[in-house]
Amino acid sequence: MTTIVANDAGNDDQIREAGDINQYISFNVGKELYAVEITTVREIKGWIPTTSLPNSPEYMRGVINLRGVIVPVFDLRTRFHRGETEPGKTHVVIIVKLDERTIGILVDAVSDILTISSEEILDVPDQDVNPEYAFMEGLVAVEEKMVAIIKPKLLFDMDLMPNTEIEPVAEVA
């Protein structure tokens, strides 16, 4: 894994003067690049099978036991409505701590550690004020690619997620 400075300034003094500096872990979901702030990441694990739970949202793969803590694992590809991931040896689960909640995010591969100034983060284009896009912090250009910075806390906020309520099963008389 390499460290990439988003602005390619090459001069640490210029980077420090640019504004708040944060580090992000970037990862692939299909051909797209995303990133989360490194301070939220607790660990990165290779794919291990999950135990599915009944009546779970389609993007929840199931749960894993992480040293005695039951952690739900969410398929980011499915959460972004881009099909379902068929996990293999190269897929990883990024374990993220969100306040009191710990979750796993299934992604195709971890890419790099990015060092980004807050001034380099561009606003997300207006999306008709759809709360589905509230999870995006912004976009940043890295080399010749765009990286979408996401806020997992908002991405998996039950109040902002699409309606996933399960219809009650009618009793048989």
pLDDT tens track for 123-154: 887 765 555 667 888 899 998 899 999 988 88
**In the chain, % of residues over pLDDT 70:** 75
Pick from 138, 125, 132, 133: which is nearest to 24 by CA? 138
pLDDT, residue 167, reads 42
- Please tell me the predicted confidence (pLDDT) of residue 127: 60
Structural domains of the chain ordered from first start: 3-155 (2.40.50.180)
The rounded mean pLDDT for the chain is 81
Count of beta carbons in the 10 Å neighbourhood of residue 49: 10
Q: Per the structure block, which two tokens stand in for 85? A: 């991931």
The mean per-residue pLDDT over the stretch 16-26 comes to 77
Cα–Cα distance list, 12 to 17, 21, 166 (Å): 9, 11, 52
> In this model, does residue 3 exceed pLDDT 90?
no
For the stretch 66-89, pLDDT in tens is 999 999 999 999 998 899 999 998
Q: DSSP code of 19?
A: S
Q: Where are the alpha helices (DSSP H) in 43-172?
A: 76-79, 152-155
Q: Which residues pair with 116 in a beta bridge?
A: 22
Q: Is 92 a residue whose pLDDT tops 90?
A: yes
Q: What is the pLDDT of residue 153?
A: 83
In the predicted model, what is the mean pLDDT of residues 106-120? Answer: 93
